Chains A and B, each alone.
Chain A
């Protein structure tokens, strides 16, 4: 009867107490699989190139993870509730144009401009959440719509022009400080800090457990007395705020407001989430896994460039990895039932 259980409907990991063998317990550790994969990828490139494991290069890989890595935090929150967010890259792009255009073209001082950029992203999050809960549209449809709306607004508002000459407050997060001779950007620290906060809230706070539960069994959550609509709108709004922070990090990293940015980030962030072992059916996964998933993609891109391998192979390998990662995940779960 084990085989007939529909995949992902019950996304529960067997608890360690139920299957006490070492292997079973090992697979119970969230993000272990992705972590091993990251180590393998890292070891491979370290063997092949003497430049890969340098401090400067590792710092660079982290920097290059900032955009998709930060968006993927919001994506993880949404996916844990059994939703999906196709709009995140476009919303980030819109936020980055709002903050840079207000500061450069409208002469607003940088801090309020950044605040309004963040607010624009939160507004999109609230809109997504309200449509998903209010009219009960599928998240896929809602965010497909807001993806196009945010994309269009970005291009209309920017007039298709790249905005440069940004004030120092906006690019500050792109500046670096030294850890033992390695230059690290402040933006990298912000991203890692966001991961720590998200991990803490998701695993240690009651609201985090509600988010997981929502993806598993919304009816049970409702019966437990949790206001589901408020929780969902909160999740999408928080995701929006994280996209806004991603916008600020992107602007700091590239030092321009670029209306063409973020176009493939929605799928790239979903890739990071999936590689990190989070179930697309919701309720199961970890945000730390997502960070590792994002890092795997960055390492492959960076490592292959160092080896002189054409960039299109990075896309090819990522595609294969996604399928392998999910397949291995599903097989081990079936095996441990």
Chain B
């Protein structure tokens, strides 16, 4: 019984891979000659229809769904062909690298990407640019920012600043006990920019846009990382309430976190004592503002990032002019209870322009 492989089967085991290897080599050889043949048609087809690639962090986040819609609409209007791809989870660098390679092979003139890992994606972007492809970062800057041709994104520091100012105007001279629900220990740029922006708006002079890492603030009584996730936001807030029952101001990295935290506050009977401010402007989030769960949120515009990106690639394909530098796609403060001196729009505006 221990002898599982009779000799006749073994000989076939030998043959199969050899045949496979021979075919592979033949394919590679045939392929390389085909490659040289197809070069001219590649050039002419590129003239016919510009190919634009869009690579998002995931397929499922409504933010990226909206981004894809914006890119599709813009590509349709401009007569371009859109290729899309996404990672399997937030932080999935390998899938994004693979997508860049495949899109370059597919003949994309430009690639729009929301990098999952701002550092790890850089070598792959470098290769694509060396192959003559324009790369534009959407929503999230690469590290270093110069790795891409251009960045179309929200100014996250400003997004934080707006809700910080709003909270300051609401609190006046009242003593604040702040809880912050941040993103993750990696402290990526968006995490730091929104957090510090919020503190700056709330009167912390040290929290400048160029500050590295989170600035210290004695008014913060509890800080937790919730990965931008509703369930984790709830757990984190439950723990914060245990630690400091007198919290009265809550900043969250995004609205799912805020809504999770609200659930925890409500369960503890503290939802009336805490002012929640957040960033994003997703439809669920804006409905949270409408319902009075979230006091104010800074709304950003993924659709605009994508449509500007597609237009820039098409322009490059037609004129050779590359996009460069940073383009702020803007933020708007959405609140049901406006305060003096901080410009804001109402919930109706927020719902008309929300994503998700």
Chain A interfacial positions (CB closer than 8 Å to B): 12-13, 15-17, 28-32, 35, 42, 49-51, 53-60, 63-64, 67, 159-162, 164, 179-182, 196, 199, 203-204, 209-210, 212-213, 216-217, 220-221, 224, 226, 250, 253-256, 258, 260-264, 283, 286, 288, 292, 301-302, 305-306, 308, 310-312, 315
Contacts and interface: CB of A to CB of B under 8 A. Distances in A.
Contacts of B20: 35, 288, 292
B185 A160 contact: yes
Contacts of A210: 2
Given A181-B35, A305-B102, A254 B123 contact: yes
B98 A301 contact: yes
Interface of B: 1-6, 8-10, 12-17, 20, 27-36, 38, 41-42, 59, 81-86, 88-89, 91-95, 97-99, 101-103, 105-107, 116-120, 122-124, 184-186
Contacts of B84: 310-311
11 contacts: A30-B12, A51-B42, A51-B106, A55-B33, A57-B105, A182-B32, A209-B3, A217-B1, A254-B120, A260-B120, A311-B59
A206 B117 CA distance: 46
Give 5 nearest A-B pairs by CB, closest first. Answer: A55-B32, A55-B31, A260-B91, A305-B102, A255-B123
Contacts of A288: 13, 16-17, 20
Contacts of A60: 101-102, 105
A54 B38 contact: yes
A182 B25 CA distance: 11
A291 to B, nearest CB: 8
Contacts of A164: 119-120, 122
A29 B92 CA distance: 37
A254 B93 contact: yes
A57 B12 contact: no
B98 A31 contact: no
B28 A55 contact: yes
A226 B42 CA distance: 60
Query: Which of B85, B103, B105 has the largest number of chain A CB atoms within 10 A?
Result: B105
Contacts of B17: 31, 196, 199, 288
A267 to B, nearest CB: 10
Contacts of A286: 13, 16
A56 to B, nearest CB: 5
A319 B89 CA distance: 17
A162 B117 contact: yes
A82 to B, nearest CB: 13
A261 B27 contact: no
B98 A64 contact: yes
Given A16-B9, A35-B20, A258-B117, A53 B34 contact: yes
Contacts of A255: 123
Contact of B1 (A28, A56, A204, A213): A213
Contacts of B28: 55, 58-59, 179-180, 182
Contact of B31 (A54, A204, A311): A54
Given A29-B16, A305-B99, A212 B89 contact: no
B13 A30 contact: yes
Contacts of A50: 34, 38, 41
Contacts of A262: 94
Nearest to B116: A260
B105 A56 contact: yes
Given A180-B32, A258-B120, A311-B59, A67 B94 contact: yes
B31 A57 contact: yes
Contacts of B3: 209, 213
A280 to B, nearest CB: 17
Contacts of B95: 311
Nearest to B35: A54
Given A29-B15, A209-B4, A301-B98, 15 more contacts: A160-B186, A162-B117, A180-B32, A181-B33, A220-B2, A254-B93, A256-B93, A258-B93, A260-B92, A260-B116, A261-B94, A263-B92, A264-B88, A311-B85, A315-B88
Query: Which of A58, A196, A209, A260 has the largest number of chain B CB atoms within 10 A?
Result: A260
Nearest to A204: B10
A12 B94 contact: no
Contacts of B103: 305
A329 to B, nearest CB: 16
B106 A306 contact: yes
A234 to B, nearest CB: 17
Nearest to A38: B20
Nearest to B42: A51
B117 A12 contact: no
A51 B9 contact: no
A32 B16 contact: yes
A189 to B, nearest CB: 12
Contacts of A283: 4
Nearest to A283: B4
B16 A312 contact: no
A228 B17 CA distance: 30
B33 to A, nearest CB: 8
Given A30-B12, A160-B185, A203-B5, A256 B120 contact: yes
B102 A216 contact: no
A252 to B, nearest CB: 11
B89 A162 contact: no
A123 B83 CA distance: 43
A311 B59 CA distance: 8
Nearest to A211: B4
Contacts of B31: 53-58, 182
Contacts of A54: 31-32, 34-35, 38, 105
Contacts of B29: 55, 179-180
A104 to B, nearest CB: 12
Contact of B184 (A160, A212, A217): A160
B106 A305 contact: yes
A203 B106 contact: no
B13 A203 contact: yes
A55 B6 contact: no
A263 B89 contact: yes
B174 to A, nearest CB: 36
Contact of A261 (B9, B59, B93, B185): B93
Contacts of A58: 27-28, 31
